[in-house]
Structures are given as structure tokens and as C-alpha cells.
Structure 1
Amino acid sequence: MVKGTKLYSIVFNKCPRCQQGDFFVTKSAFNIRNFDKMHTSCPVCGQNYTPEPGFYTGSMYVSYAFYVATIVSSFVLFVAMLGFDEIDLLIGLIPALIILTPLFFRLARRVWINMFVPYDPTAASHPHSVSGR
């Protein structure tokens, strides 16, 4: 994956601006006590990760899209293509979606901030030039 792309920042838990500093405090989404802990700003370039109160409210829609995509693709694969019963799918899908919640939470937040913060390859060399984005 090429550094400088939005996908790089989203997949590797990196700052959307410099793509060097970590976005979340822990690497794993499955550290249950700390899966939602974010740095307040990038440790490398200083990008503010919470530009305004309620900024991440929109990430709930992104998370919802992840859930819908998972449910629809599971239905198509298991019910339509492999012939599983809908009830069997539901029995397996509900625990899977609960287990995936921390992952979807973190991915949705990284997708959301990447929509608004552009990549700046020179950001790491001058960390205090962050505007109030």
C-alpha cells in the first residue's frame, strides 16, 4: 500500500496529515479497555484529531455502512450462493457483528477524519503549522 493515500492512513492507524503518527493509542482494536482511546493530536505533526465537539458523530454513518456491507455480503455468500438457512446465518452473524464492533468503530473514525484532513508530505518536518482543521 502506497504511503500518501487515504487508504494507507485508514488501514495502518496513521495520522491523515503526515501518515507517521498513530491515530489510536493502542495498535489492536480488540484491546477492550482501550479500543476507543485516541491521541488528542498527532505525536509527529501536531494535527488536532478532534477539530470540533461532535466531529465524529458523522462516523456513525460510516460504521453503519460497514455493518450493512457485512450483512449483505454475508447473506449473498451464505444464503444465496451456498444455500444456508437464514436463521443459521443470523445465529452466526449476530456474535460476529458484536465481535467486529471495536474494529468498525476505529475504521469509521479513521475514514471520517480522512474525508476532511488532506495528506501533507511536509507536515512532519514542520509540526506546529497546523491550522484549526
Structure 2
Amino acid sequence: MKKGNKLYSIFKYKCPRCHEGDLFESGTYDLKNFQKMPKNCSHCGLRYMSEPSFFDGAMYISYAMQVALIITVFVALNVLGFAELWLIITLSVSLSLIMVPVTFRLSRSAYINLFVKYDPDKRSEFE
């Protein structure tokens, strides 16, 4: 993936406008801080939360990702005849809980990329 591609910004958790600044302040599995985002991009100055409750729409993306994950694991384990139903459900839900920080970040990253266009020429006024 190269800069200029929306997938680059989504999966690398980079600013959607400049693909330089980070969307999140800490590591994915820093469970106390995995959701914290800076107010602005450190490179181009883009304000990430353009309006109050901007990222509420990302909940729908996160929900779809979690449902897809649970169904995929459930069907795969069921088709393989891996285990009994209670164990398949337990494994599906456990994997879903483990993946919450990842789906949270991917959904926010994908959501902001729906509204912000890549523009590498934008520079912060405070640089």
C-alpha cells in the first residue's frame, strides 16, 4: 500500500488528508488509552472531530465488522466440525472481545476516510 490510497490511511491509522499524522495516541492493545485520539493532525492540522459526536457513525461500521467476525468464526468452526456448539459460541464471542480495540480503530479510521480526501499539499499553519 502506498500513500494516497485510502486503504493505507485506514490500516496504518494515519491522517486521511496527509497520510503522515497518527490518528491514535497509543498502541492498539493499551487498553486504557486505545481509543484516545489527538484533536488535530500533527502534520497538516486537520481537526479529526469536525463536529460533536462525529464518530458516532463509526459504531455502525464497528458493529458490521464484529458481526462478520462472529459469523465467520462460527461458520468456519461449525463446518469443520471442530467442537460442540457451546465451545464454538464461546470461542466466537471471546475472539470478538479480543478484537474490540482493532475493530474500534479500524471503524473510526474508515469512517473519517469517507469524509476527508487525500491532499498531500496541505500543511499546517503552525509548521
TM-score bucket of the superposed structures, by smaller chain? over 0.9
- 1:79 is matched with 78
Q: Do the aligned residues in 1 keep the contact of 2:3 with 2:19 (CA within 8 Å)? A: yes
Shift of 1:76: 2.4
Residue-by-residue CA offset, 1:50-70 (whole Å, 9 max, x unaligned) = 000010110000000110110
Instruction: Describe how 1:46-125 pairs up with structure 2 within 5 A.
Output: 46-80=45-79, 82-84=80-82, 85-123=84-122
| Runs of 4+ displaced beyond 4 Å | none
Structure 1 residue identity aligned to 2:102: L
Query: Residue 38 of structure 1: SS of its match in structure 2?
Result: coil
- 1:8 is matched with 8
In the alignment, structure 2 segments of 5+ residues that lack a partner are none
- 1:35 is matched with 34
Instruction: Describe how 1:17-36 pairs up with structure 2 within 5 A.
Output: 17-26=17-26, 28-36=27-35
**Number of aligned residue pairs:** 124
TM value normalised by structure 1: 0.88
Q: Partners of 2:107 and 2:70 in 1: how far apart?
A: 17
Over the matched positions of the two proteins, sequence identity in percent amounts to 44
Query: Residue 92 of structure 1: SS of its match in structure 2?
Result: helix
Residue-by-residue CA offset, 1:14-54 (whole Å, 9 max, x unaligned) = 0000000101001x210011101101010000000000001
In the alignment, structure 1 segments of 5+ residues that lack a partner are 129-133
Structure 2 residue identity aligned to 1:127: S
Query: Residue 102 of structure 2: SS of its match in structure 1?
Result: helix
Q: Partners of 2:67 and 2:118 in 1: how far apart?
A: 29
Structure 2 residue identity aligned to 1:105: F
Q: Partners of 1:74 and 1:6 in 2: how far apart?
A: 27
